[in-house]
A and B are shown apart, each in its own frame.
Chain A
Amino acid sequence: AQKITQTQPGMFVQEKEAVTLDCTYDTSDPSYGLFWYKQPSSGEMIFLIYQGSYDQQNATEGRYSLNFQKARKSANLVISASQLGDSAMYFCAMRGFNTGTASKLTFGTGTRLQVTL
């Protein structure tokens, strides 16, 4: 079984500051992928960033980076230089690469980020 834990139901950050959204996971799959999605108030789920469990380097996509610590089973999302448009719900998700689990994503409960002036 796979489990994603997001312990921060809500976070505030000032515009232009950096913020870290926490995500820890648990899985028995030896290889897996970790994802972050953003859900603004309009409702769509936007893919942000992906990290494979065997990737040597932490993933980065523009202002988003994933702080992957395999031994701690954590995959925190770091948003640098926050913008008002970053205000949204953020979901951490994972997928194992074993045949039985390769198709489905397992999600956390989400963190609502509010960027303030």
Chain B
Amino acid sequence: EAGVTQFPSHSVIEKGQTVTLRCDPISGHDNLYWYRRVMGKEIKFLLHFVKESKQDESGMPNNRFLAERTGGTYSTLKVQPAELEDSGVYFCASSRGRQETQYFGPGTRLLVL
């Protein structure tokens, strides 16, 4: 069974540009989560999808971040326009049930210059 995959693995962009991160969850996992770790800080929750619906987006930092999960399969996280403080590692995780173990992808390392 394939694990959670994320693309790209690394992204370097300039301030003001747009970046779109993609996450493919484990097949059959209805629950998909985004987290991020900004340099030197804890891994923080961003949002949670159940199928294509946003269940909890309380961790989204501001309206420059837009997450989608059309069709309830893969998800994208768009940052537009990117700011310096958006640099960090963005993790995606998925779980079969809401209260089941979350399995993480390898992360996307985003650097905004």
Taking beta carbons and an 8 Å cutoff, which residues of A are in contact with B?
A: 4, 33, 35, 37, 42-47, 50, 91, 93, 95, 97, 102-109
With A42-B106, A43-B89 as known contacts, state yes or no: A35 contacts B42, CB within 8 Å: no
The B contact surface, by secondary structure, is strand
Q: How far is the CB of B106 from chain A (nearest CB, A)?
A: 4
Determine whether the beta carbon of A45 is less than 8 Å from that of B56.
Answer: no
Bound-complex Cα distance A46 to B91 (A): 12
B65 at the interface (CB under 8 A from A): no
A-B contacts besides A43-B106, A109-B41, 19 pairs, CB < 8 Å:
A4-B42, A35-B101, A42-B106, A44-B106, A45-B93, A45-B104, A45-B105, A45-B107, A46-B104, A93-B43, A103-B48, A103-B55, A104-B48, A105-B35, A105-B45, A105-B102, A107-B42, A107-B44, A109-B42
Q: How far is the CB of A51 from chain B (nearest CB, A)?
A: 12
Within 8 A of A (CB), among B89-112: 89, 91, 93, 98-99, 101-107, 109
Is there an interface contact between B33 and A104, defined as CB atoms closer than 8 Å? yes
| Of B35, B41, B44, B101, most A-chain CB atoms within 10 Å | B101
| B59 part of interface (Cβ distance < 8 Å) | yes
10 pairs across A/B with beta carbons < 8 Å?
A43-B107, A44-B106, A45-B104, A97-B99, A103-B56, A103-B98, A104-B45, A105-B93, A107-B42, A107-B43
User: Chain B interface (Cβ within 8 Å of chain A)?
Assistant: 31, 33, 35, 41-45, 48, 55-56, 58-59, 89, 91, 93, 98-99, 101-107, 109
